[in-house]
Amino acid sequence: METDHQRTSEEESLRQKEAVLHARELVSQLERDLGRQPTCCVTTFGCQMNARDSEKICGILRESGYQLIEEETADLVIYNTCTVRDNANQRVYGRLGTLLAMKKKNPAKKIALCGCMMQESAVIEKILKSYSQVDLIFGTHNIYKFAELLCLMLEEKRQIIDIWEETDQIVEDLPTHRKYPFKSGINIMFGCNNFCSYCIVPYVRGRERSRASSEIVDEIRALAADGVVEVMLLGQNVNSYGKGLSEDITFAKLLQQVEQIEGIRRIRFMTSHPKDLSDELIAVMRDSQKICRHLHLPLQSGSSRILEKMNRRYDREAYLALVKKLKAEIPDLSITTDIIVGFPGEVKEDVDDTIRMIEEVGFDNAFTFIYSKRTGTPAATMENAMSEKEISEQFDRVLKKVQETAKQQTLKHTGKTVEVLVEEVNEHDADMVTGRLSNNLLVHFPGGPELIGTFCTVKLVENKGFYFIGEQLPRKQ
């Protein structure tokens, strides 16, 4: 594997493009054998990073001649896994059982596993022992090599496993297949250096590496030329973008460059760490016409004692001060967050602090999680103070407060006229479409599929808790 690490990004990109051509020959052979176009299905677990990785995998599969379908009856099924909490792992094992039963009936079916879970040695051991019929396993660091791995899988009748501990390689310019024609995620950095004590991400995604700003801007320009109007800049900790690059750049400066790109009308980003959110960034957001009025700012806990044990490097006062500053500069900003309940050592009084914090900040929404022990992280060796039952009760209290607050916040927008980007036909009513506001709220309103990907002016007529029913108004202009 050493030689792979030593190639330059350009050499590697070229090599993978050649591998795609080779995969195309192998897939055409398969097509002749089957008497029809081979199908594949990529199932994504986890976060936006994984969703973006799946688009890269789908791009290569499509270029190789596979037909992408949504059903796991496909000739090739790939699970792009997540391991941030144990229930993510359990979901994968559960579904893998069903998949392997299908393969038993149809041995020609191929199964591949990739993503964060595959970076854990205990997972690989378990798969080798109990799920040995899986055809291909690779990790997060060598996803750019997927075309080459696909060829190996199609050519050889053995199980292919390729997991790397680390990489500093960023390979540009490989094919992708976007899920939405009008919006796209863009990786601006990979990995994480924060080492929050509960979190497995630094171990499965490796050290923080930023892409050169010119590569990011070129990619977004190409996306804009291809009809993309909304971009989501992705990184585990976007606020520390640029560290380690030779150019003089910060995340705020990168946003200013993206703002200049013609055709891009909305810019989002994820995720921000409160400790690194600069005044420069707040000012750039405030003055921007394109950066959306939404900030996802994970709090994790409202108790300074627990925050310290979590190694978050801020306390409740610092978080509150930051929110105050944000709201003063950008009054219409929606703030959402992540909260963990049941971290080792947490007691009811800590949760009281979290609940007070939710009230004080007035979060527009929050994802709440029960702490999940991740082997290898510092928190895994810390003792729990609450029983499972107590944790579950405290979780319910937090969830209730989050829901109340989110509802109050959402209600405030009733009656407003807003601009929305229409994303899809409503799942439950084919005569309605669903649009997203700049602040990330959703509104459903009467309309047809021709509106998808366009901006509409909509009045938020009726509040339904976390979303709105609206009506379209004639375009301003």
Residues that bind ligand 5AD (CB under 6 A): 84-85, 198-199, 298, 300, 338, 340, 369, 371-372, 374
Residue 83 binds which of ligand 5AD, ligand SF4, none (CB < 5-8 A, kind-dependent):
ligand SF4
Residue 174 binds which of ligand SF4, ligand 5AD, none (CB < 5-8 A, kind-dependent):
none
Residue 19 beta carbon to ligand SF4: minimum distance, rounded to whole angstroms: 25
Closer residue to ligand SF4, CB minimum distance, 83 or 365 = 83
3-class secondary structure per residue, 361-413: HCCCEEEEEECCCCCCCHHHHCCCCCCHHHHHHHHHHHHHHHHHHHHHHHHCC
Residue 453 beta carbon to ligand SF4: minimum distance, rounded to whole angstroms: 26
Closer residue to ligand SF4, CB minimum distance, 199 or 323 = 199
In b/e form, how buried is each residue of 76-92, taking b as 16+ CB within 10 angstroms?
Answer: bbbbbbbbbbeebbeeb
Collapsing DSSP to helix, strand or coil, 77 comes out as strand
Residue 372 binds which of ligand 5AD, ligand SF4, none (CB < 5-8 A, kind-dependent):
ligand 5AD
φ, ψ dihedrals at 49, nearest 5°: -65, -45
CA–CA dist 92, 349 (Å, integer): 35
Closer residue to ligand SF4, CB minimum distance, 88 or 323 = 88
Residue 198 binds which of ligand SF4, ligand 5AD, none (CB < 5-8 A, kind-dependent):
ligand 5AD
Residue 298 binds which of ligand SF4, ligand 5AD, none (CB < 5-8 A, kind-dependent):
ligand 5AD
Closer residue to ligand 5AD, CB minimum distance, 142 or 368 = 368
Residue 300 binds which of ligand SF4, ligand 5AD, none (CB < 5-8 A, kind-dependent):
ligand 5AD
Residue 445 binds which of ligand 5AD, ligand SF4, none (CB < 5-8 A, kind-dependent):
none
Residue 374 beta carbon to ligand SF4: minimum distance, rounded to whole angstroms: 9
CA–CA dist 102, 122 (Å, integer): 25
CA–CA dist 18, 25 (Å, integer): 11
Structure tokens at 401: 């407060």
Find out whether 167 and 142 touch, Cβ atoms under 8 Å: yes
Q: Which residues bind ligand SF4 (CB under 6 A)?
A: 46-47, 49-50, 82-84, 116, 201, 204-205
Closer residue to ligand SF4, CB minimum distance, 66 or 146 = 146
Q: Parallel, antiparallel, or unpaired for β 209-210 and 189-190?
A: antiparallel
Provide the terminal-to-terminal Cα distance of the chain, rounded to the nearest Å: 58
| Residue whose beta carbon is closest to ligand 5AD | 338
Q: Parallel, antiparallel, or unpaired for β 294-296 and 334-341?
A: parallel
Closer residue to ligand 5AD, CB minimum distance, 56 or 374 = 374
Residue 371 beta carbon to ligand 5AD: minimum distance, rounded to whole angstroms: 5
CA angle 430, 436, 441 (to 5 degrees): 110
Closer residue to ligand 5AD, CB minimum distance, 313 or 459 = 313
For residue 249, give Cα distances in angstroms to 214, 221, 234, 285: 11, 19, 16, 16
Closer residue to ligand 5AD, CB minimum distance, 366 or 420 = 366
Residue 369 binds which of ligand SF4, ligand 5AD, none (CB < 5-8 A, kind-dependent):
ligand 5AD
Residue 397 beta carbon to ligand 5AD: minimum distance, rounded to whole angstroms: 17
Find out whether 235 and 190 touch, Cβ atoms under 8 Å: yes
Sign of torsion, CA 430 432 436 439? negative
Residue 82 binds which of ligand SF4, ligand 5AD, none (CB < 5-8 A, kind-dependent):
ligand SF4
Whole-angstrom Cα Rg for the chain:
23
Residue 88 beta carbon to ligand SF4: minimum distance, rounded to whole angstroms: 6
Closer residue to ligand 5AD, CB minimum distance, 257 or 372 = 372
| Residue whose beta carbon is closest to ligand SF4 | 46
Look up tokens 């021709």; give the residue: 450
CA–CA dist 13, 175 (Å, integer): 10
Residue 201 beta carbon to ligand 5AD: minimum distance, rounded to whole angstroms: 7
